[in-house]
Copies of this chain bind each other. A is one copy, B any other.
Amino acid sequence: MTENLSGYRGKILAALIESKVQVGDLIRITKGKETYEGILIPRSEFGDDKHIVIKLKSGYNIGIEVTEATKIAKLSVEMKPSFISASLPKQNFNLPKVTIVSTGGTIASRVDYRTGAVKPVISANDLYSIVPELSDIATIDTEILFSMFSEDLTSKHWTEIAKTVAQHVSKGVDGVVVTHGTDTIGYTAAALSFALQNLPVPVVLVGAQRSEDRPSSDAASNLVGAVVAASRAPFAEVTVAMHESISDEAITLHLGTKVRKLHTSRRDAFKTVNTLPLGKVLNGEVLMLRKDYQTRDKERKLVLKPQFDDRVALIKFYPGMNAKIIDWHVEVGYKGIILEGSGLGHVCREFFPSVKRAIENNVIVAMTSQCIWGRVNMNVYTNGRDLIAIGVVPLQDMLAETALVKLMWILGQTSDANETKNLLVTNMSHEISRRSTIDVPYKNLGLSQMEA
Protein backbone atom coordinates (compact mmCIF):
# COMPACT_ATOMS: atom_id res chain seq x y z
CA MET A 1 0.00 0.00 0.00
CA THR A 2 2.92 2.36 0.53
CA GLU A 3 3.00 3.35 -3.13
CA ASN A 4 -0.25 5.17 -2.30
CA LEU A 5 1.35 6.95 0.66
CA SER A 6 4.18 8.48 -1.30
CA GLY A 7 6.67 10.52 0.71
CA TYR A 8 5.38 9.46 4.13
CA ARG A 9 7.87 7.79 6.43
CA GLY A 10 8.32 6.31 9.88
CA LYS A 11 5.59 6.59 12.49
CA ILE A 12 3.34 8.67 10.26
CA LEU A 13 3.46 6.07 7.53
CA ALA A 14 2.57 3.43 10.10
CA ALA A 15 -0.33 5.51 11.44
CA LEU A 16 -1.68 6.11 7.93
CA ILE A 17 -1.49 2.43 7.08
CA GLU A 18 -3.20 1.57 10.36
CA SER A 19 -5.97 4.08 9.59
CA LYS A 20 -6.39 2.43 6.16
CA VAL A 21 -6.17 5.76 4.34
CA GLN A 22 -4.30 6.51 1.17
CA VAL A 23 -3.40 9.51 -0.95
CA GLY A 24 -6.55 10.98 -2.51
CA ASP A 25 -8.83 9.97 0.37
CA LEU A 26 -10.95 12.51 2.17
CA ILE A 27 -9.82 12.20 5.79
CA ARG A 28 -10.50 13.75 9.17
CA ILE A 29 -7.62 14.46 11.54
CA THR A 30 -8.48 15.09 15.18
CA LYS A 31 -5.99 16.64 17.60
CA GLY A 32 -7.59 17.39 20.96
CA LYS A 33 -10.31 19.96 20.22
CA GLU A 34 -9.13 20.66 16.71
CA THR A 35 -10.47 18.89 13.64
CA TYR A 36 -9.18 19.11 10.08
CA GLU A 37 -10.84 17.66 7.00
CA GLY A 38 -9.32 17.37 3.57
CA ILE A 39 -7.78 15.20 0.92
CA LEU A 40 -4.60 13.37 1.89
CA ILE A 41 -1.89 14.42 -0.54
CA PRO A 42 1.60 13.00 -0.99
CA ARG A 43 4.68 14.50 0.62
CA SER A 44 7.70 15.61 -1.32
CA GLU A 45 10.75 13.40 -0.93
CA PHE A 46 12.33 16.30 1.00
CA GLY A 47 9.50 16.61 3.51
CA ASP A 48 9.95 15.80 7.16
CA ASP A 49 8.46 12.77 8.90
CA LYS A 50 6.34 14.73 11.37
CA HIS A 51 3.53 16.20 9.24
CA ILE A 52 0.54 14.92 7.32
CA VAL A 53 -0.41 17.20 4.43
CA ILE A 54 -4.06 17.58 3.44
CA LYS A 55 -5.78 19.74 0.87
CA LEU A 56 -8.60 21.71 2.51
CA LYS A 57 -11.91 22.43 0.82
CA SER A 58 -10.60 25.96 0.18
CA GLY A 59 -7.96 24.45 -2.12
CA TYR A 60 -5.07 25.18 0.26
CA ASN A 61 -2.73 22.58 1.56
CA ILE A 62 -1.86 22.49 5.23
CA GLY A 63 0.63 20.39 7.16
CA ILE A 64 -0.57 18.92 10.44
CA GLU A 65 1.94 17.73 12.99
CA VAL A 66 1.14 14.24 14.16
CA THR A 67 1.52 13.36 17.83
CA GLU A 68 0.60 10.31 19.89
CA ALA A 69 -2.86 11.85 20.47
CA THR A 70 -3.64 12.51 16.79
CA LYS A 71 -6.52 10.51 15.32
CA ILE A 72 -6.89 9.85 11.61
CA ALA A 73 -10.13 8.64 10.02
CA LYS A 74 -11.19 8.07 6.43
CA LEU A 75 -14.46 9.87 5.56
CA SER A 76 -15.23 8.56 2.10
CA VAL A 77 -13.59 5.90 0.03
CA GLU A 78 -14.82 6.84 -3.39
CA MET A 79 -15.19 10.61 -3.11
CA LYS A 80 -12.87 12.48 -5.50
CA PRO A 81 -13.25 16.25 -5.32
CA SER A 82 -13.39 18.23 -8.55
CA PHE A 83 -9.82 19.41 -8.34
CA ILE A 84 -8.49 15.95 -8.92
CA SER A 85 -11.11 15.10 -11.46
CA ALA A 86 -10.04 14.50 -15.02
CA SER A 87 -13.29 15.74 -16.52
CA LEU A 88 -13.52 19.20 -18.06
CA PRO A 89 -15.70 21.62 -16.06
CA LYS A 90 -18.53 23.23 -17.97
CA GLN A 91 -17.45 26.44 -19.68
CA ASN A 92 -19.69 29.50 -19.57
CA PHE A 93 -19.06 31.17 -22.93
CA ASN A 94 -20.62 34.46 -21.78
CA LEU A 95 -17.63 35.04 -19.50
CA PRO A 96 -14.53 37.03 -20.53
CA LYS A 97 -12.01 35.07 -22.60
CA VAL A 98 -8.56 34.51 -21.13
CA THR A 99 -5.66 32.58 -22.59
CA ILE A 100 -3.17 30.99 -20.22
CA VAL A 101 0.27 30.64 -21.82
CA SER A 102 2.43 28.24 -19.86
CA THR A 103 6.23 28.56 -19.83
CA GLY A 104 7.00 26.26 -16.92
CA GLY A 105 7.95 26.68 -13.30
CA THR A 106 6.29 25.53 -10.14
CA ILE A 107 2.88 26.96 -10.95
CA ALA A 108 2.58 25.00 -14.18
CA SER A 109 3.10 21.74 -12.38
CA ARG A 110 0.76 19.42 -10.61
CA VAL A 111 1.20 16.43 -8.44
CA ASP A 112 0.46 13.02 -9.79
CA TYR A 113 -1.60 11.76 -6.87
CA ARG A 114 -0.42 8.20 -7.34
CA THR A 115 3.32 8.77 -7.63
CA GLY A 116 3.79 12.16 -5.95
CA ALA A 117 5.87 13.32 -8.90
CA VAL A 118 5.49 16.88 -10.12
CA LYS A 119 4.44 17.02 -13.77
CA PRO A 120 3.92 19.96 -16.08
CA VAL A 121 0.35 20.96 -16.83
CA ILE A 122 -0.41 20.02 -20.39
CA SER A 123 -4.01 20.97 -21.07
CA ALA A 124 -6.95 23.10 -20.00
CA ASN A 125 -8.37 19.99 -18.41
CA ASP A 126 -5.41 19.75 -16.10
CA LEU A 127 -5.62 23.39 -15.15
CA TYR A 128 -9.30 23.11 -14.37
CA SER A 129 -8.72 19.98 -12.41
CA ILE A 130 -6.32 21.90 -10.15
CA VAL A 131 -8.33 25.11 -9.93
CA PRO A 132 -11.94 24.36 -10.92
CA GLU A 133 -13.16 27.81 -9.88
CA LEU A 134 -11.40 29.29 -12.93
CA SER A 135 -14.42 28.23 -14.98
CA ASP A 136 -16.58 30.64 -12.96
CA ILE A 137 -14.28 33.57 -13.75
CA ALA A 138 -13.46 33.24 -17.43
CA THR A 139 -13.62 31.08 -20.50
CA ILE A 140 -10.13 29.67 -20.54
CA ASP A 141 -7.97 28.64 -23.45
CA THR A 142 -4.44 27.41 -22.86
CA GLU A 143 -1.19 27.09 -24.74
CA ILE A 144 1.86 25.23 -23.51
CA LEU A 145 4.78 27.23 -24.90
CA PHE A 146 7.65 25.87 -22.82
CA SER A 147 8.05 23.69 -19.79
CA MET A 148 11.24 25.16 -18.37
CA PHE A 149 12.87 26.30 -15.17
CA SER A 150 12.87 30.08 -15.46
CA GLU A 151 16.62 30.42 -14.79
CA ASP A 152 17.14 28.64 -18.14
CA LEU A 153 15.09 31.18 -20.10
CA THR A 154 16.98 33.73 -22.24
CA SER A 155 16.04 36.74 -24.35
CA LYS A 156 15.15 34.32 -27.15
CA HIS A 157 12.40 32.95 -24.95
CA TRP A 158 11.21 36.48 -24.13
CA THR A 159 10.82 37.00 -27.88
CA GLU A 160 8.78 33.80 -28.21
CA ILE A 161 6.59 34.67 -25.24
CA ALA A 162 5.95 38.18 -26.61
CA LYS A 163 5.01 36.82 -30.03
CA THR A 164 2.70 34.19 -28.52
CA VAL A 165 0.96 36.71 -26.27
CA ALA A 166 0.53 39.03 -29.26
CA GLN A 167 -1.07 36.23 -31.29
CA HIS A 168 -3.64 35.57 -28.61
CA VAL A 169 -4.31 39.29 -28.10
CA SER A 170 -4.89 39.64 -31.85
CA LYS A 171 -7.55 36.92 -31.60
CA GLY A 172 -9.52 39.23 -29.32
CA VAL A 173 -9.11 37.68 -25.88
CA ASP A 174 -9.88 39.85 -22.86
CA GLY A 175 -6.57 39.14 -21.22
CA VAL A 176 -3.55 36.84 -21.26
CA VAL A 177 -2.02 35.03 -18.29
CA VAL A 178 1.59 33.79 -18.55
CA THR A 179 2.59 31.16 -16.01
CA HIS A 180 6.30 31.36 -15.27
CA GLY A 181 8.93 30.16 -12.80
CA THR A 182 9.46 32.76 -10.09
CA ASP A 183 13.27 32.91 -10.30
CA THR A 184 13.34 35.22 -13.32
CA ILE A 185 9.69 36.26 -13.68
CA GLY A 186 10.71 39.87 -12.97
CA TYR A 187 13.15 39.90 -15.89
CA THR A 188 10.53 38.46 -18.26
CA ALA A 189 7.88 40.88 -17.01
CA ALA A 190 10.21 43.79 -17.82
CA ALA A 191 10.92 42.28 -21.24
CA LEU A 192 7.19 42.01 -22.07
CA SER A 193 6.63 45.56 -20.75
CA PHE A 194 8.93 46.88 -23.48
CA ALA A 195 8.12 44.36 -26.22
CA LEU A 196 4.31 44.63 -26.00
CA GLN A 197 3.48 48.27 -26.60
CA ASN A 198 0.07 49.87 -26.87
CA LEU A 199 -1.58 46.89 -25.21
CA PRO A 200 -5.39 46.64 -25.52
CA VAL A 201 -5.81 44.17 -22.62
CA PRO A 202 -3.87 43.07 -19.52
CA VAL A 203 -0.96 40.63 -19.65
CA VAL A 204 -0.56 38.99 -16.26
CA LEU A 205 2.51 36.95 -15.34
CA VAL A 206 2.03 34.56 -12.47
CA GLY A 207 4.14 32.04 -10.59
CA ALA A 208 4.08 30.00 -7.43
CA GLN A 209 6.59 29.74 -4.62
CA ARG A 210 5.38 26.33 -3.49
CA SER A 211 4.15 23.51 -5.66
CA GLU A 212 0.78 21.93 -5.07
CA ASP A 213 2.17 19.03 -3.07
CA ARG A 214 3.63 21.22 -0.34
CA PRO A 215 1.79 22.68 2.62
CA SER A 216 0.40 26.17 1.94
CA SER A 217 0.87 26.09 -1.82
CA ASP A 218 0.18 29.48 -3.36
CA ALA A 219 -0.30 28.13 -6.91
CA ALA A 220 -4.10 28.05 -6.96
CA SER A 221 -4.69 31.42 -5.29
CA ASN A 222 -2.09 33.18 -7.46
CA LEU A 223 -3.60 31.69 -10.61
CA VAL A 224 -7.11 32.70 -9.61
CA GLY A 225 -5.89 36.24 -8.91
CA ALA A 226 -4.14 36.36 -12.28
CA VAL A 227 -7.24 35.22 -14.17
CA VAL A 228 -9.41 37.72 -12.29
CA ALA A 229 -6.97 40.50 -13.26
CA ALA A 230 -6.68 39.35 -16.89
CA SER A 231 -10.45 39.14 -17.32
CA ARG A 232 -11.67 42.14 -15.27
CA ALA A 233 -8.86 44.64 -14.52
CA PRO A 234 -9.44 48.16 -15.92
CA PHE A 235 -5.82 48.40 -17.11
CA ALA A 236 -3.96 47.19 -20.18
CA GLU A 237 -0.52 46.77 -18.68
CA VAL A 238 2.03 44.02 -18.08
CA THR A 239 1.78 42.97 -14.44
CA VAL A 240 2.99 40.24 -12.09
CA ALA A 241 0.38 38.67 -9.81
CA MET A 242 1.70 37.21 -6.55
CA HIS A 243 0.64 37.03 -2.90
CA GLU A 244 0.63 40.32 -1.01
CA SER A 245 1.39 38.77 2.37
CA ILE A 246 1.85 35.39 3.96
CA SER A 247 -1.92 35.17 4.38
CA ASP A 248 -4.20 34.18 1.52
CA GLU A 249 -6.21 37.35 1.31
CA ALA A 250 -4.82 39.52 -1.45
CA ILE A 251 -2.87 39.03 -4.66
CA THR A 252 -0.75 42.07 -5.50
CA LEU A 253 -0.56 43.23 -9.13
CA HIS A 254 2.99 44.55 -9.53
CA LEU A 255 4.22 46.79 -12.32
CA GLY A 256 6.22 44.58 -14.71
CA THR A 257 9.23 46.93 -14.60
CA LYS A 258 9.31 47.61 -10.84
CA VAL A 259 8.95 44.16 -9.32
CA ARG A 260 11.70 42.12 -7.70
CA LYS A 261 11.87 38.74 -6.02
CA LEU A 262 13.11 39.61 -2.52
CA HIS A 263 12.80 36.31 -0.69
CA THR A 264 13.90 32.83 -1.70
CA SER A 265 10.81 31.00 -0.45
CA ARG A 266 8.04 33.12 1.04
CA ARG A 267 4.76 33.43 -0.85
CA ASP A 268 5.01 37.24 -0.47
CA ALA A 269 8.55 37.24 -1.91
CA PHE A 270 7.69 39.77 -4.61
CA LYS A 271 7.69 43.48 -3.87
CA THR A 272 7.18 46.58 -5.97
CA VAL A 273 10.28 48.73 -5.48
CA ASN A 274 10.38 52.53 -5.19
CA THR A 275 6.72 53.06 -6.07
CA LEU A 276 3.21 51.72 -5.55
CA PRO A 277 1.99 48.47 -7.08
CA LEU A 278 -0.58 48.75 -9.85
CA GLY A 279 -3.33 47.21 -7.74
CA LYS A 280 -4.47 44.06 -6.00
CA VAL A 281 -7.08 41.34 -6.29
CA LEU A 282 -9.16 40.97 -3.13
CA ASN A 283 -12.33 38.87 -2.80
CA GLY A 284 -12.50 38.42 -6.56
CA GLU A 285 -12.34 42.18 -7.24
CA VAL A 286 -9.53 44.24 -8.74
CA LEU A 287 -8.66 47.26 -6.56
CA MET A 288 -6.44 49.87 -8.20
CA LEU A 289 -3.62 51.53 -6.23
CA ARG A 290 -2.50 53.84 -9.06
CA LYS A 291 -4.22 56.05 -11.59
CA ASP A 292 -1.45 56.34 -14.17
CA TYR A 293 -2.24 53.18 -16.10
CA GLN A 294 -3.19 52.59 -19.71
CA THR A 295 -6.90 51.66 -19.68
CA ARG A 296 -8.27 48.47 -21.18
CA ASP A 297 -9.50 49.14 -24.75
CA LYS A 298 -9.96 46.24 -27.15
CA GLU A 299 -9.95 48.66 -30.09
CA ARG A 300 -6.35 49.64 -29.38
CA LYS A 301 -3.84 48.06 -31.76
CA LEU A 302 -0.95 46.22 -30.11
CA VAL A 303 2.53 47.15 -31.33
CA LEU A 304 4.82 44.13 -31.09
CA LYS A 305 8.57 44.80 -30.80
CA PRO A 306 9.95 41.46 -29.66
CA GLN A 307 13.64 41.82 -30.58
CA PHE A 308 16.35 41.81 -27.91
CA ASP A 309 20.12 42.02 -28.27
CA ASP A 310 21.73 39.67 -25.77
CA ARG A 311 25.12 41.39 -25.96
CA VAL A 312 24.35 43.33 -22.77
CA ALA A 313 25.83 42.52 -19.36
CA LEU A 314 24.75 43.27 -15.80
CA ILE A 315 27.87 43.76 -13.68
CA LYS A 316 27.59 44.08 -9.92
CA PHE A 317 30.45 46.05 -8.40
CA TYR A 318 32.23 44.98 -5.22
CA PRO A 319 35.30 46.29 -3.37
CA GLY A 320 38.55 45.36 -5.08
CA MET A 321 36.78 44.12 -8.23
CA ASN A 322 39.09 43.66 -11.21
CA ALA A 323 38.53 46.30 -13.90
CA LYS A 324 39.63 43.77 -16.53
CA ILE A 325 36.12 42.29 -16.30
CA ILE A 326 34.92 45.42 -18.11
CA ASP A 327 37.69 45.01 -20.71
CA TRP A 328 36.72 41.37 -21.29
CA HIS A 329 33.12 42.27 -22.07
CA VAL A 330 34.26 44.85 -24.60
CA GLU A 331 36.72 42.43 -26.19
CA VAL A 332 34.15 39.67 -26.72
CA GLY A 333 31.72 42.08 -28.37
CA TYR A 334 29.26 43.30 -25.74
CA LYS A 335 27.34 46.39 -26.82
CA GLY A 336 26.01 47.45 -23.43
CA ILE A 337 26.93 47.24 -19.76
CA ILE A 338 24.62 47.94 -16.82
CA LEU A 339 26.73 48.63 -13.75
CA GLU A 340 25.17 47.80 -10.40
CA GLY A 341 27.24 50.30 -8.44
CA SER A 342 27.42 51.07 -4.74
CA GLY A 343 25.34 53.72 -2.98
CA LEU A 344 24.27 56.63 -5.16
CA GLY A 345 25.90 55.00 -8.22
CA HIS A 346 29.63 54.53 -7.72
CA VAL A 347 32.44 52.22 -8.76
CA CYS A 348 36.07 52.49 -7.69
CA ARG A 349 38.41 54.89 -9.53
CA GLU A 350 40.44 51.85 -10.68
CA PHE A 351 37.50 51.13 -13.00
CA PHE A 352 37.54 54.51 -14.70
CA PRO A 353 40.10 53.80 -17.48
CA SER A 354 38.28 50.58 -18.46
CA VAL A 355 34.88 52.27 -18.41
CA LYS A 356 36.27 55.10 -20.54
CA ARG A 357 37.74 52.60 -23.00
CA ALA A 358 34.41 50.73 -23.21
CA ILE A 359 32.54 53.93 -24.04
CA GLU A 360 35.19 54.90 -26.61
CA ASN A 361 34.47 51.51 -28.19
CA ASN A 362 30.79 52.45 -28.52
CA VAL A 363 29.63 50.33 -25.61
CA ILE A 364 26.73 51.93 -23.75
CA VAL A 365 27.52 51.99 -20.02
CA ALA A 366 24.74 52.89 -17.57
CA MET A 367 24.52 53.02 -13.77
CA THR A 368 22.07 51.50 -11.29
CA SER A 369 22.50 50.84 -7.56
CA GLN A 370 22.92 47.60 -5.66
CA CYS A 371 21.00 49.29 -2.82
CA ILE A 372 17.83 48.35 -4.81
CA TRP A 373 15.73 51.09 -3.14
CA GLY A 374 16.29 54.75 -3.89
CA ARG A 375 17.68 56.65 -6.82
CA VAL A 376 21.17 56.97 -8.23
CA ASN A 377 22.54 60.49 -7.94
CA MET A 378 25.98 60.84 -9.42
CA ASN A 379 26.26 64.58 -8.80
CA VAL A 380 26.95 64.41 -5.07
CA TYR A 381 30.49 63.03 -4.98
CA THR A 382 33.56 63.36 -7.19
CA ASN A 383 33.58 59.72 -8.30
CA GLY A 384 30.01 60.01 -9.57
CA ARG A 385 30.62 63.30 -11.34
CA ASP A 386 33.71 61.89 -13.02
CA LEU A 387 31.77 58.84 -14.22
CA ILE A 388 29.17 61.13 -15.79
CA ALA A 389 31.97 63.09 -17.44
CA ILE A 390 33.32 59.82 -18.87
CA GLY A 391 29.87 59.13 -20.35
CA VAL A 392 28.15 56.75 -17.94
CA VAL A 393 24.36 57.17 -18.05
CA PRO A 394 22.66 57.41 -14.60
CA LEU A 395 19.38 55.45 -14.60
CA GLN A 396 17.42 57.22 -11.86
CA ASP A 397 15.47 54.73 -9.74
CA MET A 398 15.38 51.92 -12.32
CA LEU A 399 15.95 48.39 -11.01
CA ALA A 400 19.25 46.92 -12.22
CA GLU A 401 17.41 43.91 -13.66
CA THR A 402 14.95 46.12 -15.54
CA ALA A 403 17.84 48.27 -16.82
CA LEU A 404 19.54 45.15 -18.23
CA VAL A 405 16.35 44.09 -20.03
CA LYS A 406 15.62 47.61 -21.27
CA LEU A 407 19.09 48.05 -22.75
CA MET A 408 18.84 44.60 -24.40
CA TRP A 409 15.50 45.66 -25.85
CA ILE A 410 16.68 49.10 -27.04
CA LEU A 411 19.71 47.56 -28.77
CA GLY A 412 17.26 45.17 -30.44
CA GLN A 413 15.57 48.23 -32.01
CA THR A 414 18.45 50.61 -32.79
CA SER A 415 22.22 50.75 -33.08
CA ASP A 416 22.40 54.52 -32.73
CA ALA A 417 24.23 55.45 -29.51
CA ASN A 418 22.46 58.75 -28.89
CA GLU A 419 19.04 57.26 -29.51
CA THR A 420 19.93 54.40 -27.17
CA LYS A 421 20.96 56.77 -24.38
CA ASN A 422 17.86 58.92 -24.87
CA LEU A 423 15.55 55.91 -24.76
CA LEU A 424 17.34 54.58 -21.67
CA VAL A 425 16.51 57.69 -19.64
CA THR A 426 12.99 58.10 -21.09
CA ASN A 427 10.22 56.52 -19.06
CA MET A 428 8.46 54.00 -21.30
CA SER A 429 6.62 51.59 -19.02
CA HIS A 430 6.78 52.91 -15.42
CA GLU A 431 10.44 51.86 -15.12
CA ILE A 432 11.44 55.36 -13.98
CA SER A 433 9.42 56.86 -11.13
CA ARG A 434 9.12 60.59 -10.87
CA ARG A 435 11.05 62.05 -7.99
CA SER A 436 8.51 62.88 -5.35
CA THR A 437 8.51 64.46 -1.94
CA ILE A 438 5.15 62.85 -1.18
CA ASP A 439 5.70 59.69 0.80
CA VAL A 440 4.27 56.55 -0.70
CA PRO A 441 1.59 55.52 1.81
CA TYR A 442 2.77 53.30 4.60
CA LYS A 443 2.79 49.63 3.93
CA ASN A 444 4.39 46.97 6.05
CA LEU A 445 6.70 44.85 3.95
CA GLY A 446 7.45 42.75 7.01
CA LEU A 447 10.76 41.71 5.50
CA SER A 448 12.50 41.37 8.85
CA GLN A 449 9.72 39.00 9.81
CA MET A 450 10.76 36.66 7.02
CA GLU A 451 12.08 33.35 8.23
CA ALA A 452 15.50 32.59 6.87
Contacts and interface: CB of A to CB of B under 8 A. Distances in A.
Interface stretch (A195-203, A235-243, A270-278, A298-306): A270-278
Contacts of A152: 348-350, 383
B342 A316 contact: no
Interface stretch (A10-18, A415-423, A435-443): A435-443
A93 interface: no
Nearest to A340: B316
Interface string A69-107: 000000000000000000000000000000000000000
Contacts of A375: 264-265, 452
Nearest to A207: B343
Interface stretch (A22-30, A171-179, A182-190, A221-229): A182-190
User: Which of A343, A436, A442, A447 gathers most chain B CB within 10 Å?
Assistant: A343
Interface in A297-349: 310, 313-322, 324-325, 328, 332, 340-349
A298 to B, nearest CB: 32
A187 B343 CA distance: 13
One complex includes copies of this chain to the number of 2
A314 B155 CA distance: 23
User: Which of A315, A319, A397 gathers most chain B CB within 10 Å?
Assistant: A319
Interface residues of A, number: 89
B448 A447 contact: no
A139 interface: no
Interface stretch (A32-40, A280-288, A365-373): A365-373
Nearest to A318: B314
A275 B447 contact: no
A153 interface: yes
A321 B183 CA distance: 14
Contact of A269 (B371, B380, B445): B371
Contacts of A269: 371, 373-374
Contacts of A414: none
B401 A275 contact: no
Contacts of A340: 316
Given A443-B448, A452-B436, A149 B383 contact: yes
A153 to B, nearest CB: 6
A58 interface: no
A262 B371 contact: yes
Given A261-B343, A349-B152, A401 B318 contact: yes
Interface of A: 46, 149-156, 181-184, 187-188, 261-266, 269, 271-272, 274-276, 310, 313-322, 324-325, 328, 332, 340-350, 369-377, 379-383, 396-397, 401, 404, 433, 435-437, 439-452
Given A264-B371, A441-B449, 5 more contacts: A149-B382, A183-B342, A261-B371, A262-B371, A440-B451
10 contacts: A153-B319, A262-B371, A263-B371, A264-B345, A264-B373, A264-B377, A274-B452, A372-B372, A375-B452, A445-B448
